[in-house]
Structure 1
Amino acid sequence: MKFVTQLLERINSPTATRRVDNSIQNANIAKIIHEALASAGLEGTGSQGAHIAGVIDDALARAGLLGAEAGSGPRPARPDVIVPAPAPLAGDSIEATSAPQGQFPSRTFKSAAGALAYKLYVPSSYNADTSEPVPLLVMLHGCTQSADDFAAGTRMNALAEQHGFLVAYPAQTAAVNANKCWNWFRPQDQARGGGEPALISGMTGHVSADYRVDPSRIYVAGLSAGAAMAVVLGRTYPEVFAAVGAHSGLPYGAAHDVASAFAAMRSGAAGKGPAPQSTGRVTPTIVFHGDRDQTVAASNGDAIIAQQTAAFGPAALVQTRHNGIAKGGRRFAQTIYADPSGRSVVEDWRVQGGGHAWMGGSKSGTYTDPQGPDASAEMVRFFLQQAGLKS
């Protein structure tokens, strides 16, 4: 057992994840370790082998080196380990129309709710003296990711440069969550006036105070745990956020503790709703989800759509469906729910064969699927058309 102890110590060391080359597949790391166990006669169906394998898998998950698709079956899970499983990288499916040329400084926001570090992309076209108020997009990364990683994977800065909007990337810390997940499942982080919703909303106000931001064009989007928190923000601060983008996320109220969080991720959850939000305004929402997602069940995307369409009132929306093939080769179905004026207020993008990854993203970031439709561009298109909807 001595070598097992040493292995666990190395996996859980503070520098372990920094030493792992991003080009190495997480599943390969797990496979190599399990092959080593097998060669030592410690991998198998016996109780000792199963116990050792389970302990090592838990350590891998703590270090962010084991995704839901690794291994041959379910493994013991931790509540704060909601780790996206990487999709195959087969070349980028989209090309940036303009390279980011603006500024990307690191900033910090502090309030009674706590402190929050974030990065802010300011496009080169922005001028504090002459610019008209511009839109602001808040991007919430997934577990184990960073602001820089998420910006690279989604290419959102290139779109900000093209369209002239600001992008803020709040950064969760390991001190708050061991795997840097947003705590979307805790009751105190699903309510207005406190916790992470208040902190992120406060950061948004901090940016708006320092830059010329159009208050009617502030949006929030995220991946996985970040998507779940984006949905929470749309529900708890609808007067702040004009629209929500949820990629591989969960509905509002999907969980109230760790156990229910994993149950919702695995099997789906109906969530709370569709009661009107605090101001009586329903936040327009666009959802992306792969139908082969093994980390967050695709039925959670269905639940988000059900919440939002019910809140708008099904009779008030006209539904249309389009099927297509992305540049990278993945098929998708786009369902649009339009209001009486013809404006899309809810959209559901379901990607065939897609896993738990940002569709159409760049291989320069983690947890992306370059073969899928361009989620970033479609979210920006959806967000910018919502101008004037805020009450």
Structure 2
Amino acid sequence: MIDATMTRRMEEATRLTRAGKLHEAMAILQGAMPEERGQEAPDNAYCGGTTFEGSCRVIDKGAPASRPASAESGSQRAGEPSAGAAPSSAFGHARQATTGNILGGDIGLPSAWRDKWRLLRESMAQPEQAHGINEAAEPGAFTAGCFTHHAGTRDYKLYLPGGYHGQALPLVVMLHGCTQDPDDFAAGTTMNRLAEEQLCCVLYPAQPMTANSSKCWNWFKAQDQQREGGEPAILAGMTRQVIATHGLDASRVYVAGLSAGGAMATTLAMTYPDLYAAVGVHSGLPHGVAQSLPDALGAMKGGSGPLGGGGPARAFGWASEVPAIIFHGDQDMTVHPSNADRVAAQYAASRRAGEPVKPGTSHARVTVEQGKVANGHAYTRTTHHDVKGEPRLEQWRVTGAGHAWSGGSPRGSYTDPKGPDATREMLRFFYHHQQGESRAS
């Protein structure tokens, strides 16, 4: 039974958690039970010994506004490496999440107290929502979980929209950029808001600093570019577990990412085309273009490696039939805009568009549209259609945009509200595709 002293400690710990002070909250609780310290997880443990998937509801209080990417210098934007930069700081801009990861905050608690604290915390959170203190929160549930695979362990956040009642909804997997985290990426892309409108679930895997000191997905390492190995295997396994646990539609599973996350998204399209029905690559790089950090830096700068241009890229070994939508700013000083053409060249729709038309066969149709966001950026959208007229590849080039999520919210890092809405356009594109459709057209 929880005595009055412990209740007061839990209330104070809850208050500190809401303020983003997880370490102080844990110190209060751990100090109350010295006899149980032996049950705690080790300091270097990333995922707690027992995982309560989806057991904690995260109450977002809103991330502080960040500077738009266009306002940052080239050396500051997304952690662009200088000559003496640490090898792992290939992408990203550091921003500390104010809401924290509640499951991560529970790691140091014995299981007997973990559930009691969670229940008290949730009961205390309800009046706040009722009084409108958390007006920015979505009506769905944003939960924390942890997935373990023989290749490694990763935390994640999962958004279940308010309209989810166990039905087989689509799933969108969102891969953050370096130094970002699921909360930051969700706030910046506003994908959860769109998930409410269009009824889909959203999975945000988290890359820990133990895997990469800047929390970048390791797209440039050979061991993380293969099926059934490294980070692709972890992410695919996590995706499958979430689908099975929540009864989601396995034929409508999509993956998107920004920067290093965009590079890993295209790697998943190359290595797991049977799992992901479509892919969104924002400010990313092609699959397999780098095998080391020097390769990665050269590719980011638009170097002349094996994927040094659209034409040579078509002859490169990697290719995917997965439909793709690509966004890139033409003023990106972190990942050279030419990488968008290189990414596009790895997808079948782009390859077929460059092939000569044979007598008696149909040819993919390519359309080019130019537009401008009201009081925002101009853009060029190039769309490759299949013989049925469906979009198989879309490439958006945003004029004047830097290394930032187009049309995103300033509540998250590395967003550019002046661009076309990449989140909405990706969902629109995704919903045209599902597994089982013909990919040879």
Greater CA drift, 267-276 or 205-214: 267-276
What SS class does the counterpart of residue 362 from structure 1 fall into? coil
Q: Distance in 1 between matches of 2:205 and 2:78?
A: 25
Larger radius of gyration: 2
- 2:126 is equivalent to residue 79 of structure 1: no
- 2:319 is equivalent to residue 287 of structure 1: no
Aligned to 2:281: 246
Q: Distance in 2 between matches of 1:251 and 1:258?
A: 15
Q: Distance in 2 between matches of 1:188 and 1:69?
A: 24
**Number of residue pairs matched?**
321
Residue segments in structure 1 that go unaligned for 5+ positions in a row: 1-14, 16-20, 32-56, 87-97
Q: 1:327 corresponds to which letter in structure 2?
A: A
- 2:156 is equivalent to residue 121 of structure 1: no
| Aligned partners of 2:164 and 2:199 also within 8 Å | yes
Residues 208-261 of structure 1, C-alpha deviation per residue, up to 9 Å, x if partnerless? 111121111100000000000000000000000001100000011111100000
What SS class does the counterpart of residue 158 from structure 2 fall into? strand
Aligned to 2:437: 389
Aligned to 1:305: 344
**2:149 is matched with which residue: 99, 102, 111?**
111
What SS class does the counterpart of residue 216 from structure 1 fall into? coil
Compared with structure 1, are the counterparts of its residues 300 and 327 closer, same or farther at alpha carbon in structure 2 (3 Å cutoff)? same
- 2:287 is equivalent to residue 258 of structure 1: no
**1:335 is matched with which residue: 370, 382, 385?**
382
Q: 1:109 corresponds to which letter in structure 2?
A: F
Q: Distance in 1 between matches of 2:229 and 2:413?
A: 30
Compared with structure 1, are the counterparts of its residues 257 and 208 closer, same or farther at alpha carbon in structure 2 (3 Å cutoff)? same
Q: Distance in 2 between matches of 1:83 and 1:155?
A: 21
**2:180 is matched with which residue: 130, 139, 145?**
145
Aligned to 2:360: none
**2:370 is matched with which residue: 323, 329, 336?**
323
Compared with structure 1, are the counterparts of its residues 390 and 100 closer, same or farther at alpha carbon in structure 2 (3 Å cutoff)? farther
Q: 1:174 corresponds to which letter in structure 2?
A: M
**2:218 is matched with which residue: 179, 183, 202?**
183
Compared with structure 1, are the counterparts of its residues 275 and 282 closer, same or farther at alpha carbon in structure 2 (3 Å cutoff)? farther
TM-score when scaled to structure 1? Answer: 0.76
What SS class does the counterpart of residue 287 from structure 1 fall into? strand
Residues 308-348 of structure 1, C-alpha deviation per residue, up to 9 Å, x if partnerless? 13455644421100000013410000000000000000000
| Aligned partners of 1:358 and 1:367 also within 8 Å | yes
| Aligned partners of 1:99 and 1:158 also within 8 Å | no
Aligned to 1:207: 242
**2:405 is matched with which residue: 354, 358, 379?**
358
Compared with structure 1, are the counterparts of its residues 24 and 246 closer, same or farther at alpha carbon in structure 2 (3 Å cutoff)? closer
Residue segments in structure 2 that go unaligned for 5+ positions in a row: 1-22, 24-62, 95-135, 308-312, 356-362
Aligned to 2:391: 344
Alignment root-mean-square deviation, CA = 2.9
| Aligned partners of 2:78 and 2:414 also within 8 Å | no
| Aligned partners of 2:220 and 2:292 also within 8 Å | yes
| Aligned partners of 1:118 and 1:147 also within 8 Å | yes
Q: Distance in 1 between matches of 2:375 and 2:437?
A: 33
Compared with structure 1, are the counterparts of its residues 275 and 214 closer, same or farther at alpha carbon in structure 2 (3 Å cutoff)? farther
Counterparts of residues 24-43 of structure 1 (less than 5 Å): none
| Aligned partners of 1:287 and 1:348 also within 8 Å | yes
Q: Distance in 2 between matches of 1:166 and 1:25?
A: 29
Residues 93-149 of structure 1, C-alpha deviation per residue, up to 9 Å, x if partnerless? xxxxx9721001001111111111000000111112xx2x11000000000001000
Q: Distance in 2 between matches of 1:162 and 1:234?
A: 26
- 2:208 is equivalent to residue 173 of structure 1: yes
- 2:77 is equivalent to residue 67 of structure 1: yes
| Aligned partners of 1:248 and 1:289 also within 8 Å | yes
TM-score when scaled to structure 2? Answer: 0.67
Aligned to 1:375: 422
Deviation (angstroms), 1:76: 2.8
Compared with structure 1, are the counterparts of its residues 231 and 274 closer, same or farther at alpha carbon in structure 2 (3 Å cutoff)? farther
Residues 68-94 of structure 1, C-alpha deviation per residue, up to 9 Å, x if partnerless? 698xx95433321123479xxxxxxxx
| Aligned partners of 1:136 and 1:166 also within 8 Å | yes
Q: 2:378 corresponds to which letter in structure 1?
A: R
Counterparts of residues 7-46 of structure 1 (less than 5 Å): none
Aligned to 1:54: none
Q: Distance in 1 between matches of 2:137 and 2:386?
A: 35
Compared with structure 1, are the counterparts of its residues 139 and 235 closer, same or farther at alpha carbon in structure 2 (3 Å cutoff)? same
| Aligned partners of 1:190 and 1:232 also within 8 Å | yes
Deviation (angstroms), 1:305: 1.1
Q: Distance in 1 between matches of 2:393 and 2:66?
A: 37
What SS class does the counterpart of residue 381 from structure 2 fall into? strand
